[in-house]
């Protein structure tokens, strides 16, 4: 047990799990996915999905992890030694590698933007200049691959040092600082001329836009943002002590994560509309608008640099958790050393990351794949960041609800908590609401 490690302190789990949850998913992916899906309606569905599906799945994952003390593959095997269930664990291990492969590309952008900000590239910038800067930046093949390599190397280095010392240290003090800068940006953005139109887009749902695709995207985003559906929270749960209050920790994590995403939207959309930019602009949305906001803030160079530094660190605590899943699998199931596991997985991830790094303009083929018509990056984000997580969450709900059994899971959940007030809500969600809704959304695409 000791060789796997465990959290050094009681709050260690909350800090590290929110470190995993809070990342580019909140500040980069949430706003652009909301923008692509018409704004307010997406936000509304997202919030509903967090409460009725994602939070219950989070609790299911963490309790499964704590109960078995295992990585995702080991956790399924521990409860259902025979049968196919462990395949869900394997899917999680692969999904971790695949998400990490393109997530690290975007994390590389934050590092690139840190340097741009420090060197004053964002001074007196207009939105046209910001947009052309960004597209020039992401289409530089060499730079993109280097930044990917740098970020992966950092992740590999920290994960190789182990759980408590590696992960906890980083997630402790920096989140509040990130939040403080977000509030600064929020004030600036809301006071820009024309900000109202952005607020309307963000807050006034247009129900005629309702479609299965909006629901799928919102649900997928909820899983992505809370690091669910691939066993990250099973793995992190396996390092949690029996005395930890799982319902309240999980509720805090879900709340904190959602809060930051919502704030990010309040920053991005008023600014986007005030500058007459397109809210459906895709993955570059945040990187196109933030420099413009910073250029309109006194001390923008300093705040901009600090912001991108903190965002890189927030991304790092997420990439650490992505890498930890395949690594914990190799350590537990294959008896590899942590060091060997980390290096091998790091290299595989890099190989898969290169096409993503080259698909934002660098290499034509990857930027617009034949047949699918989108970039390798967009395809990967959809396949792994959305579909695979939703499939994983579906099977985790079924597994915990019916194979392990919700009543037994409840016993595990209740260790360390005085009274779990939402026990029956949780049970209904995990057995019925979550699996049925996920299944219906999938069916609506197939039929």
- Residues contributing to the site for ligand PHE (CB under 6 A): 20-21, 23-26, 99, 224-225, 227, 230, 232, 318, 321-322
Nearest distance in Å: CB 392, ligand PHE: 10
Nearest distance in Å: CB 21, ligand PHE: 5
Residue 79: both structure tokens together: 């409860």
Judged by CB, which is closer to ligand PHE: 103, or 294?
A: 103
Nearest distance in Å: CB 318, ligand PHE: 4
Residue 148: both structure tokens together: 């990917």
Handedness of CA 413, 174, 182, 359 (dihedral sign): negative
Q: How far is CA 127 from the centre of its chain?
A: 27
Judged by CB, which is closer to ligand PHE: 95, or 274?
A: 95
- The rounded distance, in Å, linking the Cα atoms of 226 and 247 is 15
Find, among 193, 190, 180, the residue nearest to 303 by Cα: 180
Judged by CB, which is closer to ligand PHE: 96, or 355?
A: 96
Residue 271: both structure tokens together: 């600014």
Nearest distance in Å: CB 236, ligand PHE: 10
Nearest distance in Å: CB 98, ligand PHE: 10
Judged by CB, which is closer to ligand PHE: 292, or 330?
A: 330
CA atoms lying within 13 Å on the CB side of residue 180: 8
Nearest distance in Å: CB 103, ligand PHE: 6
Q: What is the CA radius of gyration of the chain?
A: 21
Judged by CB, which is closer to ligand PHE: 155, or 367?
A: 155
CA atoms lying within 13 Å on the CB side of residue 169: 8
In this chain, which residue has its C-beta nearest to ligand PHE? 25
Nearest distance in Å: CB 31, ligand PHE: 12
The count of other CB atoms within 10 Å of the CB of residue 22 is 28
Find, among 402, 427, 416, the residue nearest to 52 by Cα: 427
- The rounded distance, in Å, linking the Cα atoms of 20 and 321 is 6
Beta strands in 176-308 (DSSP E): none
Judged by CB, which is closer to ligand PHE: 226, or 272?
A: 226
- The rounded distance, in Å, linking the Cα atoms of 447 and 431 is 24
Judged by CB, which is closer to ligand PHE: 155, or 295?
A: 155
Backbone angles phi, psi at 361, to 5 degrees: 120, -20
Nearest distance in Å: CB 232, ligand PHE: 4
- The rounded distance, in Å, linking the Cα atoms of 430 and 426 is 6
- The rounded distance, in Å, linking the Cα atoms of 185 and 149 is 30
- The rounded distance, in Å, linking the Cα atoms of 335 and 328 is 10
Nearest distance in Å: CB 29, ligand PHE: 7
- The rounded distance, in Å, linking the Cα atoms of 322 and 382 is 17
Judged by CB, which is closer to ligand PHE: 17, or 45?
A: 17
3 state DSSP class of 242: coil
Nearest distance in Å: CB 100, ligand PHE: 8
Judged by CB, which is closer to ligand PHE: 68, or 232?
A: 232
Nearest distance in Å: CB 80, ligand PHE: 23
Q: Is 422 exposed, middle or buried (0-12, 13-18, 19+ CB in 10 A)?
A: middle
Q: Is 190 left (phi over 0), alpha (psi -120 to 50) or beta?
A: alpha
Please list the alpha-helical segments (H only) found in 226-299: 232-237, 246-274, 285-295
Judged by CB, which is closer to ligand PHE: 25, or 72?
A: 25
Judged by CB, which is closer to ligand PHE: 75, or 322?
A: 322
3 state DSSP class of 59: helix
The label of the residue with tokens 């300093």 reads 302
């Amino acid at each position: 047990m000791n060789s796997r490690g465990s959290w050094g302190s009681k709050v260690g789990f909350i800090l590290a799990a929110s470190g995993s949850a809070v990342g580019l998913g909140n500040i980069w992916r949430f706003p652009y996915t909301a923008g692509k899906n018409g704004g307010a309606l997406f936000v509304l569905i997202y919030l509903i999905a967090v409460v009725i599906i994602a939070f219950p799945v989070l609790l299911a994952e963490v309790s499964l992890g704590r109960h078995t003390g295992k990585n995702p593959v080991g956790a399924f095997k521990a409860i259902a030694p025979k049968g196919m269930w462990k395949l869900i664990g394997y899917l999680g291990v692969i999904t971790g590698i695949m998400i990490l492969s393109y997530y690290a590309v975007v994390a590389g952008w934050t590092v690139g933007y840190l340097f741009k900000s420090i060197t004053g590239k964002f001074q007196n910038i207009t939105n046209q200049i910001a947009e052309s800067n960004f597209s020039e930046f992401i289409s530089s093949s060499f730079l993109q691959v280097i930044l990917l390599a740098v970020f992966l190397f950092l992740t590999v280095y920290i994960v190789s040092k182990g759980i408590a010392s590696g992960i906890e240290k980083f997630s402790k003090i920096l989140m509040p600082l990130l939040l403080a800068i977000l509030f600064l940006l929020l004030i600036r953005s809301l006071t820009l001329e024309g900000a109202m139109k952005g607020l309307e887009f963000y807050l006034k749902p247009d129900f005629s836009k309702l479609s299965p695709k909006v629901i799928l995207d919102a649900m997928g985003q909820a899983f992505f943002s809370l690091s669910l559906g691939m066993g990250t929270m099973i793995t992190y749960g396996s390092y949690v002590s029996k005395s930890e209050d799982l319902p309240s920790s999980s509720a805090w994590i879900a709340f904190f994560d959602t809060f930051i995403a919502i704030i990010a939207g309040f920053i991005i959309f008023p600014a986007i509309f005030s500058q007459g930019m397109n809210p459906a602009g895709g993955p570059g949305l945040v990187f196109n608008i933030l420099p413009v906001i910073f250029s309109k803030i006194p001390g923008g160079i300093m705040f901009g640099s600090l912001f991108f530094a903190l965002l890189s660190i927030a991304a790092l605590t997420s990439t650490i958790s992505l890498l930890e899943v395949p690594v914990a699998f190799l350590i537990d199931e294959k008896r590899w050393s942590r060091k060997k596991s980390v290096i091998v997985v790091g290299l595989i991830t890099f190989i898969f990351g290169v096409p993503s790094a080259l698909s934002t303009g660098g290499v034509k083929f990857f930027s617009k794949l034949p047949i699918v018509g989108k970039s390798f990056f967009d395809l990967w984000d959809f396949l792994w960041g959305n579909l695979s997580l939703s499939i994983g969450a579906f099977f985790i709900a079924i597994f915990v609800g019916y194979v392990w059994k919700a009543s037994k899971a409840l016993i595990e959940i209740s260790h360390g908590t005085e009274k779990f007030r939402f026990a029956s809500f949780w049970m209904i969600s995990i057995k019925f609401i979550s699996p049925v809704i996920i299944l219906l959304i999938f069916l609506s695409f197939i039929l």
